[in-house]
């Protein structure tokens, strides 16, 4: 009796202690998917940077670049895992599966393992890249610390506004009535200079920043802090106490609003990033599973992998 051979070589039941999982095919597909994803991400980053411009009116908008970045991130991830899953399904050695459903399941499972290996490799590369960025940033930070220090503090502008001298505003304001007693005039220059000499500017700015940060965290500005800030502003700027209190209230309101807007923006960005990442990974898992089943189907039926290039056929 002659045994008819199938297009793909079949294997029997594995020996005890062996596994149906072909780790060689899985690792090959996972490494290939991770490499393709890295190349496509690098290419996408270059394209995105070429679309930006520091000049006003030129380059794509931030929303356009952000939308294209999300689309490209998901698309390249799906494409990379499609190729990796197909390779794993095509390279898997077929065992003596009882039916076609079992064959497709095992092929698809190899595609899922390719996805898992690719995700682990991608996470390791991401952590390594983040470590390199931190190291490089630390080295460069020592050279630009003086210029970055002013921009690093989110309350720096509010403190600048709080301590802004009132001379320019006083010059442009209408002259006060002659009946105004001289007691309400700005403090003498000697008094202001003496106060400035007793308290270094850097120490004062640090103290005011801590007061504002604590008040914003607590949700309100305490009366004693408001009075102290107003007295400091009146002493440093030369404006009356009542006007200094008004400036403190305005600056605190603006700083609190800016802090809430920044926190809300960070929250929305984190939520969007989480949803996009999870959706992209789930779609990539489905793509790797499906591609592995197609690779197994092509393996069993001896269909060549053409990759959109027509196969050469002899006449």
Q: Are residues 29 and 113 in the same domain?
A: yes
pLDDT of residue 116: 94
How many CA atoms are closer than 13 Å to the CA of 209, on its beta-carbon side? 14
Indicate the range of 34-48, 136-150, 196-210, 230-244 predicted with least confidence. Answer: 136-150
296: enclosing H helix or E strand: helix 241-300
Q: Are residues 127 and 275 in the same domain?
A: yes
Residue bearing the bigger pLDDT, 296 or 54: 296
Domain coverage including residue 245: 150-166+189-261
Q: Are residues 256 and 283 in the same domain?
A: no
Kindly report the length of the chain. Answer: 315
Q: Are residues 107 and 160 in the same domain?
A: no
The DSSP call for residue 86 is: H
Q: Are residues 60 and 28 in the same domain?
A: yes
Residue bearing the bigger pLDDT, 283 or 9: 283
Domain count, the chain: 2
pLDDT of residue 81: 95
Q: Are residues 197 and 232 in the same domain?
A: yes
- Provide the CA 10 distance to its chain's centre, in angstroms: 48
Model confidence pLDDT, tens digit, residues 131-143: 444 444 444 444 4
Q: Is residue 27 part of a domain?
A: yes
For residues 267-295, give the mean pLDDT.
Answer: 91
Residue 202, class by beta-carbon neighbours within 10 Å (0-12 exposed, 13-18 middle, 19+ buried)? exposed
Q: Is residue 305 part of a domain?
A: no
Q: Work out the percent of the chain whose per-residue pLDDT is above 90.
A: 20
- Nearest Cα to Cα of residue 28 among 86, 79, 77: 86
Q: Is residue 310 part of a domain?
A: no
How far apart (Å, rounded) are the C-alpha atoms in residues 224 and 49? Answer: 50
The number of helices, as runs of H, and strands, as runs of E, in the chain is: 10, 0
How far apart (Å, rounded) are the C-alpha atoms in residues 237 and 248? Answer: 12
Q: Are residues 234 and 278 in the same domain?
A: no
Q: Are residues 254 and 275 in the same domain?
A: no
First to last CA, the chain: 36
Q: Which two tokens stand for residue 32?
A: 């290939």
């Amino acid at each position: 009796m002659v045994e008819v051979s199938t297009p793909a070589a079949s294997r029997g039941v594995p020996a005890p202690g062996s596994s149906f999982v072909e780790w060689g095919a899985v690792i090959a597909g996972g490494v290939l998917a991770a490499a393709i994803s890295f190349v496509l991400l690098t290419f996408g980053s270059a394209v995105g940077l070429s679309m930006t411009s520091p000049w006003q009116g030129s380059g794509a908008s931030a929303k356009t670049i952000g939308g294209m970045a999300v689309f490209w991130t998901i698309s390249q991830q799906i494409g990379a895992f499609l190729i990796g899953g197909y390779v794993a399904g095509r390279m898997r050695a077929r065992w003596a599966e009882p039916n076609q459903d079992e064959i497709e399941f095992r092929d698809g499972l190899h595609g899922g393992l390719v996805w898992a290996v690719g995700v682990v490799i991608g996470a390791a590369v991401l952590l390594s890249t983040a470590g390199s960025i931190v190291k490089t940033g630390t080295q460069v930070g020592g050279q630009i610390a003086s210029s970055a220090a002013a921009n690093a503090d989110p309350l720096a502008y509010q403190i600048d506004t709080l301590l802004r001298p009132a001379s320019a505003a006083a010059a442009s304001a209408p002259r006060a009535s002659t009946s105004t007693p001289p007691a309400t005039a700005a403090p003498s220059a000697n008094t202001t200079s003496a106060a400035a000499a007793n308290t270094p500017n850097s120490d004062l700015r640090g103290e005011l920043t801590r007061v504002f940060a604590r008040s914003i965290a607590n949700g309100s500005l305490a009366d004693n802090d408001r009075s102290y800030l107003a007295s400091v502003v009146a002493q440093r700027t030369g404006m009356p106490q009542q006007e200094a209190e008004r400036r403190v209230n305005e600056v605190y309101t603006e700083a609190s609003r800016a802090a809430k807007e920044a926190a809300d923006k960070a929250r929305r960005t984190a939520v969007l990033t989480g949803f996009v990442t999870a959706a992209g990974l789930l779609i990539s898992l489905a793509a790797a599973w499906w591609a592995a089943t197609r690779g197994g189907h092509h393996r069993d039926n001896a269909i060549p992998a053409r990759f959109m290039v027509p196969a050469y056929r002899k006449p």
